[in-house]
Amino acid sequence: MDFAAHSLPVRSVSESQSEMTELILPNDTNTLGNLLGGRLMHFIDLVAAMAAYRHARTHVVTASMDHIDFIAPVHVGDLLILKSSVNRAFRTSMEVGVKVWVENTIAGMHRHVASAYLTFVAIDSQGRRVPVPQLLPETGEEKRHFEDAGRRREQRQRELDRKRAMKPAEPAVEGTVRPGKTRE
């Protein structure tokens, strides 16, 4: 892939910042009326994808979602508020940060319930990876997120390398051909 051949715009953080609000209904909850963790992860993936699309202006796929702590429960009838922004763009990937709050509709109180970092990879309509515009952090907070995202990328890369080194060779499945091998 010839990355140097592409001239891409540089985007600010505010160009891709996204927000989503969801009213939590019984279908989203467990038997105690608390929001299901998997449903929350789905909302996080959606709001993060919005920011990634707005930054890349092409198709994007979720490559990974980092560790998430569910800090406090969300109850049926609460409003869930999710905000996302691109923390840093690399070559074909971007780190998106998501912060989630709950608003109690009766008391009007807000509480932070979860945060997550996701990596999206930009692809074209044929599924080929494509370079993304670079991000220009402007405020002190945006610059801090930018630096932190660089450190997290190094950690992720170390973890990916470790997993690849530990992975045993895949056993051949009956009736299939391994890449690079011919069937006998």
Ligand X SMILES: CC(C)(COP(=O)(O)OP(=O)(O)OC[C@H]1O[C@@H](n2cnc3c(N)ncnc32)[C@H](O)[C@@H]1OP(=O)(O)O)[C@@H](O)C(=O)NCCC(=O)NCCS
- Residue 92 lies near ligand X (rule: CB under 6 A): yes
- Residue 87 lies near ligand X (rule: CB under 6 A): no
Gap between the Cα atoms of 38 and 79, Å rounded: 17
Which of 71-94 are b and which e, b meaning 16 or more Cβ less than 10 Å from the residue's Cβ? Answer: eeebebebbbbbbbbbbbbbebbb
Q: Which residue number, 139 or 150, has a Cβ lying nearer to ligand X? A: 150
Contacts of 112 (CB under 8 A, 6+ apart): 71, 72, 99, 100, 101
Gap between the Cα atoms of 55 and 62, Å rounded: 14
- Residue 63 lies near ligand X (rule: CB under 6 A): yes
Give the DSSP H or E segment for 170.
none
Q: Which range of residues in 14-22, 55-63, 133-141, 175-183 is near ligand X by CB under 6 A?
A: 55-63
- Answer for which of 54, 91, 99, 111 binds ligand X (CB under 6 A) is 91
Are the CB atoms for 177 and 183 separated by under 8 Å? yes
Least distance from C-beta 75 to ligand X, angstroms? 28
Gap between the Cα atoms of 79 and 68, Å rounded: 20
Q: Which of 118, 129, 139, 138 is nearest to 18 (CA)?
A: 118
Which amino acid, one-letter code, is at 71?
I
Q: Which residue number, 99 or 156, has a Cβ lying nearer to ligand X? A: 156
In sequence order, the β-bridge partners of residue 9 are none
Q: Which range of residues in 30-38, 84-92, 97-105, 174-182 is near ligand X by CB under 6 A?
A: 84-92
Judged by CB under 6 A, the number of residues near ligand X is 13
Q: Which range of residues in 6-14, 23-31, 71-79, 85-93 is near ligand X by CB under 6 A?
A: 85-93
- Answer for which of 121, 130, 135, 149 binds ligand X (CB under 6 A) is 121
Instruction: State which of positions 123-182 bind ligand X (CB under 6 A).
Output: 129, 156, 160
Footprint on this chain of ligand X (rule: CB under 6 A): 61-64, 90-93, 119, 121, 129, 156, 160
